[in-house]
A and B are shown apart, each in its own frame.
Chain A
């Protein structure tokens, strides 16, 4: 019943945004492209829910420059081609001066040429592939960490966790490959022997062959990069195949709460990098917005397992609003320039952009915190390193 109520509520919100579309002149529009259906639907919906919370907060506090902000959320269906269509639609038809998106690295990379073509900046809230900010697209401003930053943050733990030989299993897309390469590079530099690197199709559900191979390789740690659905199955199948290695999941889209819920016992003893730890929000740099976001999330009855994703949308909308305020007008070029001066106390830390990529065409990159948590006895705990 609760679920149905949730569906009805989101339908009502959807209908509401259609109605408010008529007063377009009164609001400042921000385009959001997220995977609301398809393989990444769960995460995309969480990000959109977090974004809606920020939208309402900002509007309750008087909006931006006396106008309300209005998110126009489009479903990119977890599909790069659709992602490009949503961006075309948001820019051409809704005339949004600024975008937020597009969750997975592959989706973000697919829409990036359109940003340059139409000269509209985009705040990237989740994607971690290095290519996004190093390929020379000056319309990209990323608040999420790159795989390389994640690997560097992990570095001090290599000795403490006593990692001697590492194997890899990652999803065969920009996100997985990028992460696998960065972690392998970092581990190698720290004297860790690299075993085998196995890949999997983003839609695959059976990993028995890969896991049998990894078992034979005999490493002590397995680094896995994929979204939570595959990770759940991997943990279960690793237990089935008696793979007794330390499993570390990278990429921050691993929702430990959901893993505990769904993989049960098999999740015990695994490690996960997250970019916001809702189990102990006091450790983040700005606990105040974190608490506000978490309270509202619970009040709205959203899935607790989504807290580790929803904050990305929440922060992205605050950054967007701040950039528009700084620009003083809702125009793409002014907003792009203003983004360089944005300072937002967010859940991702003190958000500010530094330059990355080839000179003259730099993208903006924020340096957020990375946290490693572990699951023990069905609970998420801080690591004791």
Chain B
């Protein structure tokens, strides 16, 4: 029983970060129709920013998260303006190839700058975990969970309740009409990519101190993010949030009670099953953002 409770607690905490990883990616796909292979690298970039800001520069741990997100948004905007803005109207395969190139370039740049040695980030939380009865969880993870929830709610609000969000949704629904209504499509694209990138960087900056920071850390994060997005339905923020939690529960319980060796396979097995029966993902009624 204690073991089950611990598994459930672990899965909930993990789910929050998975959801955060998923919404950044689903946003970019939903609005821009870009399969963003650099998502994992932006995640790693966020973690490296966090490392650089906290360890050598000595910036406040909580401030560093905000700065890392801003830098992530900046890098995202740069990628969009430098690469994607030239590819508007290009077919999805071309864009995909360019993004794969950017992914490899970014990952190797990280290794060149930081070497392959994993780095770790100190956190200001007590080193003793939070213990409730038979359960325990680190303070850092509790913090990560609540910040992730906050960011998810913030994104949800931005998309559904703000002018910018409305413009984003309009662009997605009908680009030409949106343009005719005076929406600056180019800016919406840049803003969307920057937002998605900032969320990825936030996930990296949050999880960097929990795990270790290494150039290849983005690969696994990207694989999970894609799984979550497919699970929840492409372009569906609510779906990605729930998808994140579902993946976490399936992985944690699968590893706990079936086989830990197949932990990562469980999630993908689930995706195959869902795609067989609901090809648009679990929560997509029809294609939409928000």
Contacts and interface: CB of A to CB of B under 8 A. Distances in A.
A240 B217 contact: no
Interface in A169-212: 172, 198-201, 203-206, 208-210, 212
A261 B120 contact: yes
B216 A39 contact: yes
B212 interface: yes
Main secondary structure of the interface of B (DSSP, over half): helix
A92 interface: no
B80 interface: no
Given A212-B3, A305-B117, A203 B131 contact: no
Interface stretch (A228-236, A280-288, A292-300): A228-236
A228 B118 contact: yes
Interface in B188-217: 211-212, 214-217
Given A206-B14, A258-B117, A201 B3 contact: no
B129 to A, nearest CB: 5
A3 interface: yes
Instruction: Tell me which of A44, A206, A262, A265 has the highest count of chain B C-beta atoms within 10 A of its own C-beta.
Output: A206
A212 B4 CA distance: 9
Interface in B234-290: 251-256, 259-261, 263-264
Interface in A10-51: 36-42, 44-45
Contacts of B217: 205
Interface string B1-31: 0110011001000100000000000000000
B141 interface: yes
B137 A240 contact: yes
A241 interface: yes
A263 interface: yes
Interface stretch (B84-92, B106-114, B147-155, B158-166): B106-114
Interface string A36-71: 111111101100000000000000000000000000
Interface string B77-121: 000000000000000000000000000000010011111111110
A42 B115 contact: yes
B193 to A, nearest CB: 26
A239 interface: yes
Contacts of B254: 209
Interface string B108-147: 1001111111111010000101010000111001000000
A328 interface: no
B220 interface: yes
Contacts of B3: 212-213, 215-216
Contacts of B112: 7
Contact of A42 (B108, B117, B251): B117
A242 interface: yes
Contacts of B114: 3
Interface string B177-192: 0000000000000000
Contacts of A3: 113-115
Contact of A212 (B7, B111, B120, B131): B7
A209 B260 contact: yes
Contacts of B211: 205-206, 233
Interface in A248-273: 258, 261-266
Contacts of A264: 122, 127
A209 B116 contact: no
A113 interface: no
A301 interface: no
Nearest to A170: B261
Contacts of A242: 129, 131, 136
A265 B127 CA distance: 8
A6 interface: yes
A229 B199 CA distance: 25
Contacts of A266: 127
Instruction: Tell me which of A7, A172, A212, A228 has the highest count of chain B C-beta atoms within 10 A of its own C-beta.
Output: A212
A303 interface: yes
A3 B138 CA distance: 32
B136 A241 contact: yes
A195 to B, nearest CB: 14
Nearest to B138: A240
B216 A38 contact: yes
A229 B138 CA distance: 19
Contacts of B117: 41-42, 258, 303, 305-306
Contacts of B131: 242
A239 B139 CA distance: 12
Nearest to B248: A206
A201 B255 CA distance: 11
A199 B261 contact: yes
A45 B115 contact: yes
A41 B118 CA distance: 9
Contacts of B219: 203
Interface of B: 2-3, 6-7, 10, 14, 108, 111-120, 122, 127, 129, 131, 136-138, 141, 211-212, 214-217, 219-220, 251-256, 259-261, 263-264
Interface of A: 3, 6-7, 36-42, 44-45, 78, 172, 198-201, 203-206, 208-210, 212-213, 215-216, 228-229, 232-233, 239-242, 258, 261-266, 303, 305-306
27 contacts: A7-B112, A37-B111, A37-B116, A38-B216, A41-B111, A41-B215, A198-B261, A199-B260, A200-B260, A201-B263, A203-B220, A204-B220, A204-B263, A205-B220, A209-B251, A209-B252, A209-B253, A209-B260, A210-B255, A210-B260, A213-B3, A232-B212, A233-B212, A242-B136, A258-B118, A262-B118, A306-B117
Given A229-B214, A303-B117, 12 more contacts: A41-B111, A200-B261, A208-B252, A210-B255, A212-B10, A213-B255, A216-B3, A229-B212, A232-B212, A240-B141, A242-B136, A265-B127
